[in-house]
Amino acid sequence: MTLDLNKIKQAQKNIEGVVRKTPLIYSSTFSKQSGYEIYLKCENKQKTGAFKLRGAYNKIMTLTPEEKEKGVLASSAGNHAQGVAYAATACGIKSTIVMPATAPQAKVEATKGYGAEVIQHGEVYDECYEKALEVLKETGATFVHPFNDEEVMAGQGTIALEILEELPDVDAIVVPIGGGGLISGVAVAAKSIKPDIKIIGVQSEIIASTKASLEAGKVVTVGGAKSLADGISVKTPGDITFKYIKEYVDEVITVSEDEISYAMFSLMERSKLISEGSGAVPLAALLANKIKVDGKKIALLISGGNVDMAMILKIINRELILQKRRLRFSVELQDRVGELGALINHIGKLGANIVSVRQDTNWEEKGIDFANVVFEIESQSKEHSIEIMKELKEKGYNVQSLSLS
């Protein structure tokens, strides 16, 4: 275990001028909701859209000329891939990246755009890692591990230096955990500067390999489906990172898929920040009241923002439905001129946004003089939705709520 504050400070010098110093934003919204003073460390604003560039660039800067000549190889769910590709191209080095077949297309295309050759294999990180080892034997390239490498961990630790430079009295830093490289670097840096700071890790509960390993007292491999937080869907934590986690991390919390989805939505709506699932897990833990800190100031590390637009749409629709801000209902109308127009006008006056209107062409039991019209609307809140339904019924309309999936 040779990772220390000096190595992390050297990494900060190595990446200077290439890696951005990302903003640390105070959130009044999340502060009010939690009772803490909440700051968001926005690594989703980093070049390549995630923190991974820090570790990848630092690692490549430490390679020998002979190693650089052979090129670099990496396996990644997406963010490390982009970091390695960007760093390698910036240094004039060939890069090959093995990514899961399930990796978000935005991450795959971005990695290719940064100049890497991409090979897709497997469902999660661990499977593409095995494939990368096969490629490594064939090419002799230098493998840049996404987390189980102290030079990579040192690069990630520079995030803690930035947080403490800007907010020296921070009481806790909450960090996503996949393989453990990010939290290891952050924890070593932060605890070396401020020993009483609390470092809290967060994982998806459906693939919580680090938490399971801590409970077992050794590195273990867990099963589990791929999480919405795909960047931290790692079955087996690193053996090197695990040593640092045991020594420097105070607590590991798990969050559900619903909690991750809600956090992603909340970051978009309240902070105007796009975060991937992995980046949202610290906020997910906070909003689920799972974080307990003696002090007041907490930094949440929003580790990345690389998420498909299609996924963002799914998250928004899902949360609007769960929060009863999008609803579907049918209204029985007499099939005559002006009835539908009057109803649409009335719904508009109630402050709802009509998403769609469709007349049900199925046979109406009352006969051909009646029709069921299906509405899908958006409201301002759950309470607003309830009020709209109440007003329509009081107006004399026969309204039936419908399920929305």
- Name the residues annotated as catalytic: 52, 303
Q: Which of 188, 118, 127, 123 is nearest to 153 (CA)?
A: 188
Q: 56, 79 in Cβ contact below 8 A?
A: no
Q: Which of 147, 133, 200, 148 is nearest to 171 (CA)?
A: 200
What the block records as the tokens of 399 is: 């309204």
Q: Please report the DSSP string for 190-222 in residue order.
A: HHHH-TT-EEEEEEEGGG-HHHHHHHHTS----
Amino acid at position 193, single letter: I
Contacts of 156 (CB under 8 A, 6+ apart): 51, 52, 54, 55, 181, 182, 184, 185, 186
Count of H-run helices and E-run strands, the chain: 16, 14
Q: 46, 87 in Cβ contact below 8 A?
A: no
Q: 326, 317 in Cβ contact below 8 A?
A: yes
Edge-to-edge strands of the sheet including 142-143? 117-120, 95-99, 72-75, 142-143
Eight-class DSSP state of 304: B
Specify which residues 173 forms β-bridges with.
199, 299
- Tokens 């439905």 map to which residue? 321
Distance between CA 268 and CA 275 in Å, rounded?
8
